[in-house]
């Protein structure tokens, strides 16, 4: 059976794990990584034998057209980077995670994906992504009730970036700690700029939109080297729903996971890249995808094994 | 907005909860229950105002054609009862639960559903059903690893029926108790026939295919009235998967639910009846259905709310 040819766009933390997840998929192969020309050859990350190209055109010239591209650049670049591939009729998968903009992403990508007869899967990570699917299934099983999504304990990329942008902070890591009922406290480790005080920085962090609604603790560490000691990739979710099926109350559902964050995100993106080759043209979130389409194997064998 | 018109076929324990779940769905209405002529008017179950009809033809004559029928007869009648509706172009949902025959059900129903331009959703309960979807998602997230589905503590309908069929048993209830690693022990309460001994009955149960592979305890109670005291509808599942995403091990996922068994089965069937009106002709299991199709509401609003 011919392998699904995919490529990777952008080589940060997620890109590295995407290359590994493709390598671990018996039905897929990575034909190359597209990244900024100035980064090529300079990476500290293991490319596991994948060639690097400064543009899609050069990748295509050397290796042909991929069937799907895994977009591993930051969320704010996702639409632009997706478009680059979709305009060439290549499916895309991104892990766009700006929740309030997902619906408009779906609409915009849907238009160009349909007109180029390919598929775009957006918001394909664990939240948004598989958590979205669990929320949908929980609601289908227990339509009346409350779902709490409790994140952590783990590092939040968004909150860490917000803390680093605060005046007087030279480096920061923000840890999300669940405190029940879908609420969270934030533990922020900061490296202060010279002459700055922890009190002033804490005040500024507490006033920031990212932090103003949650309990906050700020701790100072002397160097980025020490910051690295609290900065691993462990994360988790506890999703809980209690409610009624039909007229029967006290139905209790929960999903709990403890994971390496970028490894899971990358694996979900790769499973979605497989699905992208099995769907009609258009843009999809994970709640729009038949789960069987994510898996290696033919449908009837998967039904025999999993249903 | 016009409500989805559905009907119920068969009125046992599941049928009763299906009527309740339809009543609780703002976008659906139950136009009638089809059941054996001799049962009509004799039910102890609350029909909540639904009319009873001895045949689909009489339901149609009185109320018009339903868009989907919820088939609430035992699994061994599912294909025959599904066919009755599919041949009239009416979608069906069943909770067929004979795991080893699901693939052939899908093939047989697929042929007649396509030729009658309607949809059939089979194996739509919690296992098979939503558990199948969780198994599929867990595999997409963590492709290399082991999933254990631990059932219970709760009453097994199949094992209870098997115990009742044993020589010397006048009535029985079998409770499934999880003992870890996807294995189970069985606790069987029996009412003995006159002159029978617990020892002989236990030997026969232990030799039965349903029980021969698992640890077994058999307890005798004097009457069916006392049997009723251990016979409620509580059930549960703990599904656990540990494995690797890409090349990263120690990814841990678990799904835990504690539920009223027939209420959940019925709710899932009703959510599938909604989905049946949104799918292309053919036969589906729950792993074939985009999760968003199960939910009341339009797709973009659901994406905004859940993704």
Q: Per-residue pLDDT tens for A50-85?
A: 999 999 999 999 999 999 999 999 999 999 999 999
Q: Is B102 on the interface with A (CB under 8 A)?
A: yes
Axis-axis angle for helices B261-276, A130-141 (nearest 10): 110
CB atoms within 10 A of CB B297: 15
pLDDT in tens, B280-302: 999 999 999 999 999 999 999 99
Is residue A289 scored above 80 in pLDDT?
yes
Q: Which of residues 121-150 of B touch A (CB under 8 A)?
A: 123, 126, 128, 130, 132-137, 139-144
Reply yes or no on whether the pLDDT at A43 is more than 80: no
User: What's the pLDDT score for residue A268?
Assistant: 98
Model confidence band, residue A207 (pLDDT cutoffs 50, 70, 90):
very high
Residues in contact with A194: Cβ distance below 8 Å, sequence separation at least 6, in sequence order: none
> How do residues A107-136 score in pLDDT, each as one tens digit?
999 999 999 999 999 999 999 999 999 999
**How high does pLDDT run on average in chain B?**
96
Q: Over 80: is that where the pLDDT of B44 sits?
A: no
Q: Do A263 and B252 touch (CB under 8 A)?
A: no
Q: How many CB atoms lie within 10 A of CB A253?
A: 26
pLDDT, average across residues B124-153 = 98
- Position A93 pLDDT exceeds 80: yes
Q: In this complex, do B136 and A257 lie within 8 Å of one another by their Cβ atoms? A: no
pLDDT at residue B40 above 90?
Answer: no
| B216 shares contact with chain A (CB less than 8 Å) | no
**Separation of alpha carbons A122 and A129, rounded Å:** 9
- pLDDT tens by residue, B12-39: 889 999 999 999 999 999 999 999 988 8
Asked if A34 has any chain B CB less than 8 Å from its own CB, the reply is: no
Which residues of chain B does A290 touch, with a Cβ-Cβ cutoff of 8 Å?
287-290
CA distance from start to end of chain A: 25
Show the tokens assigned to A60.
Answer: 């295509």
- pLDDT at position A154: 97
Per-residue pLDDT at A183? 97
Is the model's pLDDT at A257 over the cut of 90? Answer: yes
Write out the E strands in A10-126.
28-34, 52-53, 68-71, 91-94, 119-121
B97 to chain A: nearest residue by CA?
A307
* A-chain residues near B251 (CB < 8 A): 257-260, 263-264
Residue A39 has pLDDT above 90, yes or no: no
B286, A268: Cβ pair inside 8 Å?
no
pLDDT at position B42? 78
pLDDT(A44) > 80: no
Determine the residue of chain A that is closest to B24 in CA distance.
Answer: A246
C-alpha A103/C-alpha B302 separation (Å) is: 9
Of the pLDDT bands very low, low, confident and very high (cuts 50, 70, 90), residue A1 is confident
pLDDT tens digits for B191-237? 999 999 999 999 999 999 999 999 999 999 999 999 999 999 999 99
Residues on chain A touching B128 (C-beta within 8 angstroms): 307
Q: Is residue B43 scored above 90 in pLDDT?
A: no
- Mean pLDDT in residue range A204-210: 96
Task: State residue A174's pLDDT score.
Answer: 97
Helices (H), chain B: 13-23, 56-63, 78-86, 102-115, 130-141, 157-164, 198-207, 224-227, 261-276, 299-306
The DSSP call for residue B30 is: E
Q: Kindly state the average pLDDT of the residues B131-135.
A: 98
Claim: this prediction has a pTM higher than 0.95: yes
| Contact criterion met (CB < 8 Å) for A294 and B137 | yes
Domains with residue ranges and CATH for chain A: 4-128+261-306 (3.40.50.720), 144-245 (3.30.360.10)
What is the C-alpha separation between B80 and B73, in angstroms, rounded?
10
Determine the average pLDDT of the residues in B92-113. Answer: 97
Q: Which residues pair with B219 in a beta bridge?
A: B189
């Amino acid at each position: 059976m011919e392998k699904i040819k995919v490529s990777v766009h952008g080589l940060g933390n997620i890109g590295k794990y995407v290359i590994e997840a493709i390598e671990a998929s018996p039905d897929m192969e990575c034909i190359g990584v597209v990244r900024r020309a100035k980064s090529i050859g300079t990476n500290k990350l293991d490319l596991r034998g994948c060639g690097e190209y400064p543009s899609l055109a050069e990748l295509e010239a050397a290796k042909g057209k991929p069937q799907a591209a895994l977009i591993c650049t930051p969320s704010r670049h996702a639409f632009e980077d997706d478009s680059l591939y979709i305009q060439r009729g290549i499916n895309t998968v991104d892990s766009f995670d700006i929740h309030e903009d997902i619906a408009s992403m779906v609409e915009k990508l849907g238009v160009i994906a349909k007109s180029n007869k390919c598929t775009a899967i957006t918001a394909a990570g664990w939240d948004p992504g598989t958590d979205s699917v669990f929320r949908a299934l929980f609601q289908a099983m227990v339509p009346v009730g409350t779902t709490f999504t409790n994140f952590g304990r783990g590092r939040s990329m968004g909150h860490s970036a917000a803390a680093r942008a605060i005046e007087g902070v030279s480096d920061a890591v923000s840890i999300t700690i669940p405190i029940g009922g879908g609420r969270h406290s934030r533990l922020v480790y900061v490296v202060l700029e010279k002459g700055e005080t922890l009190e002033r920085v804490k005040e500024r962090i507490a006033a920031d939109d990212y932090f103003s609604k949650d309990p906050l603790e700020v701790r100072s560490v002397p160097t980025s080297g020490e910051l690295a000691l609290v900065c691993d990739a462990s994360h988790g979710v506890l999703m809980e729903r209690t409610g009624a099926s039909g007229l029967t109350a006290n139905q209790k559902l929960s999903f709990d996971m403890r994971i390496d964050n970028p490894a899971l995100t990358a694996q979900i993106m790769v499973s979605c890249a497989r699905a992208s080759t099995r769907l009609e043209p258009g843009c999809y979130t994970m709640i729009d995808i038949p789960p069987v389409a994510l898996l290696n194997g033919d449908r009837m064998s998967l039904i025999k094994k999993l249903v």
